[in-house]
Structure 1
Amino acid sequence: MIIVTGGAGMIGSGLVHALNAAGECNIIVVDDLTDGIKFRNLVDADIADYLDRDEFLHRMTQDADSGVRAIFHQGACSATTEWDGRFMMERNFTYSKTVFEYAQRLRIPLIYASSAAVYGGGGGFRETPEFERPLNVYGWSKKLFDDWVRRRLHDLTAPVVGLRYFNVYGPRENHKGAMASVAFHLFNQVRSGTNPKLFGAYDGYGAGEQSRDFIHVDDVAAVNIWAWRSGVSGIFNCGTGRAEPFRTVAQTVIDTLGTGAIEFIDFPDHLKGRYQSFTQADLTQLRAAGYGKCFRTVASGTSDYIAWLSSQAL
């Protein structure tokens, strides 16, 4: 049995589908379906059971499970604009500690979702504390759990891997609203007959030149499955190692759909001082741990994604 928390979300459901493709169907999905629209992400998935996040929390206190082979803990509040610190810490820190302790008691591997938001304004993207300066409470909640895990890495009963996701995009993110990827929003703008819009010049970057490490959700799923099978422990960046500008994403959307022209808007005041204008994963530790696969470029990954979105819109 494999447990995937947040399994109805974008990354979680992508992971469930990747596990299915690898022949794994004895999967328990844990999520909060208050937003019931997320069920669509699992309609074509093969799973054994579903548990509400609160039911799973109770179950973890009973130590009744047997036959669990791994836990992929993807469940979290991922809204970088959420400033309710109590809510964020309960979802991303306290709950994660319970999952960690449960996995350690059962002596089973835990692979959990961290975030590149831990770096914030730290000036670098290596998995070391001197670069970790979150700009929002979401990033701080992820950093705090990473630090909590670090203090236990030398006293584990089973492997634990934290993956610091950079900018993930790809299928099954329709439910995310404002937190969906820029590729998703630009696709919808062009499909509605308007031009794709990007931020103008800001923070020393020209219009549309703010750059991120964009990683396709299928590549994220592949890293998760490798982490489980490899038996390694540690905290690793999960990006492509390449920073590419938002302009490239927009141009790929335009080229794939065959219409549109980039427009630029003023950088919003509410994001100033809370925005990462540049991210690029340092993959040294991930590669040293044995992950050797290549990652999609923004052009190839976005083109595939836009084709997928177009097929869903028919």
Structure 2
Amino acid sequence: MIIVTGGAGFIGSNLVLGLNARGYDDILVVDHLTNGVKYRNLVDCKIADYLDRSTFLERLQQGAFHAEAIEAIFHQGACSSTTEWDGRYMMDNNYEYSKTLFHYCQSHKIPFIYASSAATYGADLTFKEELAYEGPLNVYGYSKFQFDQYLRRHSKLTAQVVGLRYFNVYGPREAHKGSMASVAFHLNNQIKDSDELRLFEGCDGYGNGEQRRDFVYVGDVVDINLWFLDHPQVSGIYNCGTGRSQTFNDVANAVIRYHQRGHIKYIPFPEHLKGCYQSFTEANLDNLRSTGCQHQFKSVEQGVQLYMEWLNR
């Protein structure tokens, strides 16, 4: 059995489908469906069972699972809202929960592959997996940062542990995220509504729409997770991005190119985001490549084309 926490979410449901494509269907999905529309992400997935996140943790701690039957745990479940400032909730949900799963996996020699985040870097522009370059700008980033730190204190591992620092992931099955869905998702909706694609005006020395992010297609993220499943001897914290930053204008132009219509309108940069906004991200892939992983990531032009075909089919 493979366990996927956050399995009804964006990356988690894509990961379940990726496992299905390999012939895995003995999958336990763990999530919480307070946002009930997330069920749609599981309709075409083959799974063995579903458990609420609280029920799962209780049963895990009670010894209800046959640990020897668990092949791996992919821990994708978390509150990923960068605008959530309830620190107590964030640390309980993202940090304490992760610690419990980590220790269970170590006790039973189960590979543990979890979602970290590029938000751990904050305003630093190096994006290398080292403490000197880390400084989160919000409590979400801090919750991920602190668990990475916790892992670093445990150098003697009994089983694989991999933290993947996701950069700006976009692609199918993110609609339930609402305002936190990718810019590609929102621009597709905007062009269908009015032919007008809205991007922020310039900030932090960047021109209108020229802020740069490492936009990574969700299919590539799934491939990286599965690469580590295939290489259980590799542990550590690794960036999961393309290694190439592109502009928000690039994303908008890819959406326009697909629809063959539309124009960009630049809107004032929001006051509430000033000082806690990453205007540039770009994954340093040296550590990932050093493991032997040579996966070739899609460009914005390639990934957005695939995504538009899926969204507008």
TM-score range (shorter-chain normalised) is over 0.9
- 1:227 paired with 2:228, answer yes
2:148 paired residue among 146, 149, 155: 146
Calculate the TM-score normalised by the size of structure 1: 0.98
Residue ranges of structure 2 left out of the alignment (5+ in a row):
none
Mapping of residues 248-267 of structure 1, within 5 Å: 248-267=250-269
- CA distance, structure 2, for counterparts of residue 48 and residue 60 of structure 1: 17
Counterpart in the other structure of 1:2:
2
- CA distance, structure 1, for counterparts of residue 135 and residue 261 of structure 2: 40
How far does the alpha carbon of each residue in 1:122-158 deviate from its partner, in whole angstroms, 9 at most, with x for none? 2310000011010100001100000000111x21111
Root-mean-square deviation over aligned CA pairs: 0.7
Counterpart in the other structure of 2:157:
156
Shifted more, 57-66 versus 3-12: the winner is: 57-66
CA shift at 1:64, angstroms? 3.2
- 1:113 paired with 2:115, answer yes
Counterpart in the other structure of 1:50:
50
- CA distance, structure 2, for counterparts of residue 59 and residue 233 of structure 1: 27
CA shift at 1:63, angstroms? 2.5
Counterpart in the other structure of 2:287:
285
- CA distance, structure 2, for counterparts of residue 65 and residue 159 of structure 1: 20
How far does the alpha carbon of each residue in 1:39-60 deviate from its partner, in whole angstroms, 9 at most, with x for none? 0001000000001000111012
Counterpart in the other structure of 2:180:
179
Calculate the TM-score normalised by the size of structure 2: 0.98
- 1:28 paired with 2:31, answer no
CA shift at 1:194, angstroms? 3.8
Residue ranges of structure 1 left out of the alignment (5+ in a row):
none
Counterpart in the other structure of 2:196:
195
Q: Is the 8 A contact 2:251 2:304 kept in 1?
A: yes
- CA distance, structure 2, for counterparts of residue 195 and residue 94 of structure 1: 43
- CA distance, structure 1, for counterparts of residue 140 and residue 15 of structure 2: 22
Identity level (%): 59
Structure 1 counterpart SS, 2:263:
coil
How far does the alpha carbon of each residue in 1:160-196 deviate from its partner, in whole angstroms, 9 at most, with x for none? 0000000000000010001000000000000112400
How far does the alpha carbon of each residue in 1:193-226 deviate from its partner, in whole angstroms, 9 at most, with x for none? 2400111111000001000000011100110011
- CA distance, structure 2, for counterparts of residue 173 and residue 136 of structure 1: 22
Mapping of residues 88-103 of structure 1, within 5 Å: 88-103=90-105
Structure 2 counterpart SS, 1:262:
strand
- CA distance, structure 1, for counterparts of residue 185 and residue 43 of structure 2: 21
Structure 1 counterpart SS, 2:78:
coil
- CA distance, structure 2, for counterparts of residue 108 and residue 68 of structure 1: 7
Structure 1 counterpart SS, 2:312:
helix
- CA distance, structure 2, for counterparts of residue 50 and residue 33 of structure 1: 11
Counterpart in the other structure of 2:65:
65
CA shift at 1:240, angstroms? 0.3
- CA distance, structure 1, for counterparts of residue 51 and residue 124 of structure 2: 38
The residue type equivalent to 1:8 in the other structure is: A
CA shift at 1:102, angstroms? 1.1
Counterpart in the other structure of 1:298:
300
Structure 2 counterpart SS, 1:196:
strand
CA shift at 1:259, angstroms? 1.1
- CA distance, structure 2, for counterparts of residue 301 and residue 32 of structure 1: 29
Counterpart in the other structure of 1:11:
11
- 1:209 paired with 2:210, answer yes
How far does the alpha carbon of each residue in 1:259-310 deviate from its partner, in whole angstroms, 9 at most, with x for none? 1001101111000000000000000000001111100000010011011100
- CA distance, structure 1, for counterparts of residue 123 and residue 245 of structure 2: 16
- 1:131 paired with 2:130, answer no
- CA distance, structure 2, for counterparts of residue 201 and residue 55 of structure 1: 46
Shifted more, 186-195 versus 79-88: the winner is: 186-195
Counterpart in the other structure of 1:275:
277
Q: Is the 8 A contact 2:8 2:42 kept in 1?
A: yes
Structure 1 counterpart SS, 2:216:
strand
- CA distance, structure 1, for counterparts of residue 76 and residue 82 of structure 2: 16
